Structure 1
């Protein structure tokens, strides 16, 4: 695995991003290790990408494990419409949106990912 995050940059999760706020259907807008447009469904204890479900375990404070891998919520807008998620070890990242059209929220998600050292093509 080639890291997609500069480990020298600080990284944090959004403490109020719990499973209840994430629950529902999403679309991948951008990402590394995922394909844009893919469907994502988050349940109380499951995380499904393109119909492949894995367990979702909350570790509190915006931090989860999906199939044993770290998933941190780096940013979730106030209305839980757009989210920037990633692996703090640098394995992958993704921007999700409920409708697949985040509008101005896309810039905010990109800014957070840039701040935490995630590498985006063309950034």
Structure 2
């Protein structure tokens, strides 16, 4: 019985010692990073028939993150004005543009060029814009496309 008790005592001390060692390990802090708006493991594509000519004109942001809802955009052949601030807007591939130095892909543009869903494939920003500011049912279509491409719709305003 004494042997049994001392065995339990030794095992108990061993467990306590091990717990103490684990508790003494330094805690590693992760670096502060912003969480992207898009799941990087989701599929992604741009709409290949979108040209700068289809994008030219006036737009209003109706939903988004990383760009203010209500922003007025004017797109020309090589520029974009966002609330009066001019930046370059140059085609970089089918349905793909460089906004300043940032990649922006057109994920969806309706057949009549009235509503578009755009985003940065890295997840820095995403938005839905409309020519009249009232996309109706096209808003649901744009949201479904963005959801399919892994954007977090809960973070859109």
Alpha carbons 1:71, 1:85 under 8 Å: kept = yes
**Alignment of structure 1 residues 62-81 onto 2, 5 Å:** 62-81=95-114
Greater relative contact order (CA < 8 Å, ≥ 6 in sequence):
1
The structure in which a higher percent of residues are helix is 2
Structure 1 regions of 5+ residues with no counterpart?
Answer: none
**Aligned-pair RMSD on alpha carbons?**
1.2
CA contact (8 A) 2:37 2:155 kept: no
Structure 2, unpaired ranges of 5+: 1-33
Is 2:142 aligned against 1:109?
A: yes
TM-score (norm 2): 0.76
Moved >2 Å (runs of 4+): none
2:147 and 2:124 mapped to 1: Cα distance? 15
Normalized against structure 1, the TM-score is what?
Answer: 0.96
Q: How many residues align?
A: 123
Measure how far apart 1:47 and its partner are: 1.4
